[in-house]
Structure 1
Amino acid sequence: MYNFSPRHPALASIHVQISGHLSHGSPWNGEDFSIVRRTRKLPSSKMSATQSEFDLGVSGGPPFGIGEYAFADAGNLEHCTKYLNQTLVTFGFPASLDLFAVDPVSIARTCNCIYSLLQQRQRDIEFRESSNEQRQRLQSDISRLEAKVERLEAQLASKDRELATLTRMEAKNTAALKAQIEKLQQERDEFQRMVIGNQQVRTQQIHETKKKEKEYIKLQERLNQVLMEKKKESRSGMEIMNLLQKEGRQRGTWNGKKADSDFYKMIVDAYEVKKQELMAENADLRALLRSMQMDMRDFLNAPNGLSQQTAVNEKQEAGSPQSPLGGRTDVFDLPFHMARDQIEESLRTKMASIKARMIQLQDAQKGAELTSEATERELELEAQLVEARSIIQEQASIMSKHLTKSEKPRRLSSHLDAEREVIHSASAEVCKALSS
């Protein structure tokens, strides 16, 4: 029988390799030599588990000695040889082992088989090292990609917050713009109502002014008529006195004293009656003139009337002059020859004020028609609207540029691509909404 001994180092190394694979007590089968080949198909998550299993060559010696586990002994050498030959042939090694032969050819064949096993072991070690390096590179790539994913998720969250902020700002600006537009419409309606009211007041004032002018003309005509009648009566009275004096000289010899006294009394009574009528008519004319002046003063001192200086002049004119006895009296209660100049001056002043008032109303109407077309506030709001639109468009363009710059040529996964498409579509919709 052929025994394993230190004189056969090749057989001893075969025994060591086989005993290392069978250290866990499992029987020898065809899967033990395919372990190294199957490590090529293992994922990176199982690299660390398989690394500890294939560190036999790195340690520099066999993990177990021959005495710990005896695969073959003197009684089962033939059976072990058959099993080894079948296994080697199954795994494609050069030739079967002839452990009982002593010729050089069989020994060379055995050495070639052992050399093939050693080369396979070396290739397995090199493949394990390259696999470990690749696994480390893949782990570093995975960690880098995970950090990149986290960074992109943070950027996506920040962009979502910015988009929400821009949306809130847009809603706020839209609400403020609507409020300003409604306020401008209300102010425009109020301004139109004021213009219509001013036109109505102007028309009414023009009508009242024409009416007062007609009354003033009638009053002047009536006053001139009264003066002419008074002059005629004074002339007729003087003629009667002259006639009486002539008749008295002619009738100097008459004795009718009673008839003369009755005649004089009748003339004096008629003169007094006429005088009273004239005084009553003069009082009526004075009252009418006074009421007309009061109406003109109220018209001139109405709201939106003349300037403050004109109102002061009217108050000064309205003040009663000083009477000779120290009391206050109305200017229309004075004799005509004393109050004529003052009354004429007051009437001329009022007529000039009325003309100035008419010119002022015409200018105000023209200014209202010009300002009704476009007010300064509307122009200012339009400028603010244009500025706000330009700012919103600029912000939208900056955001779209930032989003395009942040894109990378690599695509991490379908989830990230979908999120990027959602961001682009949302930004495009926001830009379109802001531009509209």
Structure 2
Amino acid sequence: MHSLLIRDVRPWGGPPVDLAVEDGVVRGIGPGLAPPANDSAPPSFGPGSSRPRVVEGRGRIALPGLVNAHCHVDKTWWGGPWVSSPGASTVEGRIAQEREHRDRLGIPDPDAATRMLRRFLQAGTTAIRTHVDVDPGVGLRGIEAVREAGERVGGAVAMEVVAFPQDGVVRRPGVLDLLDDAARAGADHLGGLDPAGIDRDPVRQLDGIFRVAERHGIGVDVHLHDPGELGSWQAELIAERAAATGLGGRVTISHGFFLGELPERRRLELLDVLAEAGVGWTTVAPLGRPPLPLAEMAERGMSLGLGTDGVRDLWSPFGDGDVLRIAQNLAAMLRYGTDEDLERAARWASSAAAPLVGREVHDVVVGAPADLVLLEGETVGDALTACPPRRTVVSGGALVVEDGEVLAGGSGEVLAGGGG
């Protein structure tokens, strides 16, 4: 049994307490908790360790580990040589330039994926949902690379994998068979991209994806960039299939910027349909797009999460892998200013996203997985607006970031290049 005591922290900015952790789970919360027995033993972290560890929180805010609910770990070049963008500006153009250049750049690359996971840990992220390209050119190599990266960091980043047919589903022969192979290989979700805009046959694309997902009992997560009524019509098709297949609660729309473009009455009617069907949502809070009606979505019980999208890849050279900064951008876009609203944005980057990474609960409460990030600040709002360095991160009950250094999945070995 692995034991950990985290002293003098303030869950969600509340009164100071200690957190007792055993076997990867928060077992106790309260002031003055006794350290585990054998406290003087040398530190040893990770699953199966019998030696305890005491972490001094020094009054910092304790949040649940951040959740990156939408990322693309398979095709980043984070921490590697600079890659000049070929310059395509449309979705179709970026897909084409990726097909053209990825082999030359060695994408997918487990080394780059590992550097990205280390960066996520350093930024306080302990659970992700990553979309991984699956198409006839790359097969399942991306999934293999991402899983290898996860093993290299000792499982310190909990990963849900979306088999992502970015190059189309029905316009590319053999893709549905590849998705079936990905599901058999353990993918947690099947993806899709703009059923109308890319495949030009939304009914056929969605029917194919949902048929495979239903057969394997896994989730569906569809990128949807198409605007206005075209986007909302496809969202209705997704909701219909979520209800018909019984996959409600495991169906997600990513991006879906059209929601911010609809008239209020149409938007509210559609949100009711989506909520009833159990469709969740992720957003990367991009600049220049109408903000999503997240408060209205949350009121309806929809699962919501934030993500960094691609970080330094052929789609965009920007990003630093920090989902707390995404929450900060979102709060600014929504013109949030009260402590209550700022905390709401932080929850969308952590506890509220639990269902999107396969967890019933992801919070600083007894019985939750012991995934924690400690932040300097008077309040959660103070920490959100400052985005301070993450000096201490715990994942699965093991210390994985200490004094800003990333440790090897809690083994105690410092990972070279952990800072990215």
The answer, yes or no, to whether TM exceeds 0.5 is no
Which has the higher Rg, Structure 1 or Structure 2?
1
Which protein has greater RCO, CA pairs closer than 8 Å, 6+ apart?
2
In proportion to residue count, which structure has more strand?
Answer: 2
Normalised TM-score (structure 2):
0.16
In proportion to residue count, which structure has more helix?
Answer: 1
Normalised TM-score (structure 1):
0.15
